[in-house]
Amino acid sequence: MILRFGCLFLFFLFTCTLFAQEDSISTKPVISVLPLVYYTPETSWSFGVGAVGNFKIGNPLLETYKSQIALGGAYTLFNQFLAYGSWRVFTTENKQLFAGEIGWYRYVYFFYGIGPNVQEIDRERFDATFPRLRFDYLRKLRTNLYLGLRYHFDDFEITSIEEGGILDNQNIRGREGGRISGLGPMIYYDSRDSQIYPTKGFFAEASFQTFHNSIGSEFNFNRWLVDFRSVHSIRKKSVFVWNVYGEFITGQPPFFGLPLVGGNRLLRGLFEGKFRDERLALVQAEYRWRFLPRWGAAAFSGIGNVFSKENLFQIDQSKFTYGIGGRFQLSKKEKLNLRLDIASSPNEDLRIYLTFGEAF
């Protein structure tokens, strides 16, 4: 653990230097190359490199959001590998938005079963390799409001599972891997004053995707997603944000395509992927306070659960999470934070997250 945070600290110092240089540039494109070294129990040592480009399309005097393209790759001593690219590009005056991710991953995951009542003793490892494509195209209808299409593609090859485990002994759909390919409409509204560190405004997104053999999917199912965020300035240096999020699936999805909670975004304090099922609903909130020009703190909490059409949402089975965090502003101009969160949940281990940007 000490080595992990030591390497992350070195990475943090290097990043601060790059963003300090960025603050002196107002209109020119900025490209930052970042070394990546970290350690986790799941990956052992990991080594890689990433590059991020920030730029504006068209006349810099027009009110066009900044665009970003990122590329990266990493290798771990557990023989894991990931290579990815992501983009979020606004055309002149934000008339169109192109966003997405493309990558290839050889990774380790953990599976506990399906539903809200899985047990820690059932935890098992499985290895998978897969290419991934995420693509959103949105066109502006009016100020802050966009309508468009969303496409998702994963081609999971499960290369190993634990002998005698759930995936080995039970007929879990998708246990041998498979391809999912889904397309559908989405609507998007964003009146926040910043997409990186907002202090006021609203964000709302709703999408529907159908995954079907006719568009290359080996599993037939539908997915609905809703995401609403409200940001309020309490004082000059304080912000309160709350988020309602839901995913709902019908049909015959594979287990790796089910909604799940946990990780550094949805109900911090839960192990990502421990709880997964056909449906997910949660609400979470966070109070952010900047007590020095670059330093801040946060307190957050959330409640939610996964469920299915057979086993409906039950409030007494909900997962409650809470935590505190620290923030360091890497870029005064872009308001990008380094985020350190410590989170917990009843009957779960303490979780630590060190990453960039806010959870929601």
Q: What global pTM score does this model have? A: 0.84
By the 8 A CB rule, do 220 and 253 touch? no
Per residue in 157-208, pLDDT (tens digit) is 999 999 999 999 999 999 999 999 999 999 999 999 888 889 999 999 999 9
Per residue in 255-284, pLDDT (tens digit) is 999 999 998 899 999 998 899 999 999 999
Query: Does residue 73 belong to any structural domain of this protein?
Result: no
pLDDT of residue 6: 40
Query: Does residue 137 belong to any structural domain of this protein?
Result: no
By the 8 A CB rule, do 73 and 46 touch? no
Query: Does residue 85 belong to any structural domain of this protein?
Result: no
Low-confidence ranges of the chain (pLDDT < 70): 1-27, 37-44
Cβ neighbors of 21 (< 8 A, separation 6 or more) are none
What CATH number is attached to the domain comprising 308? 2.40.160.50
User: Which of helix, strand or coil describes residue 270?
Assistant: coil
pLDDT of residue 158: 95
Q: Which domain covers residue 190, as residue numbers?
A: 126-131+144-356
Query: Does residue 70 belong to any structural domain of this protein?
Result: no
Query: Does residue 87 belong to any structural domain of this protein?
Result: no
At 7, give phi and psi (nearest 5°): -70, -40
Q: How many domains does the chain divide into?
A: 1
Query: Does residue 81 belong to any structural domain of this protein?
Result: no
Query: Does residue 158 belong to any structural domain of this protein?
Result: yes
Query: Does residue 226 belong to any structural domain of this protein?
Result: yes
DSSP 144-207: TEEEEEEEEEEEEEEEEE-TTSHHHHS--TTTT-EEEEEEEEEEEEE--S-SSS-SSEEEEEEE
Q: What is the dihedral of CA 91, 93, 97, 98, to 10 degrees?
A: 20
Tell me how far CA of residue 20 lies from CA of 52, 54, 183, 247, in angstroms.
Answer: 15, 14, 41, 39
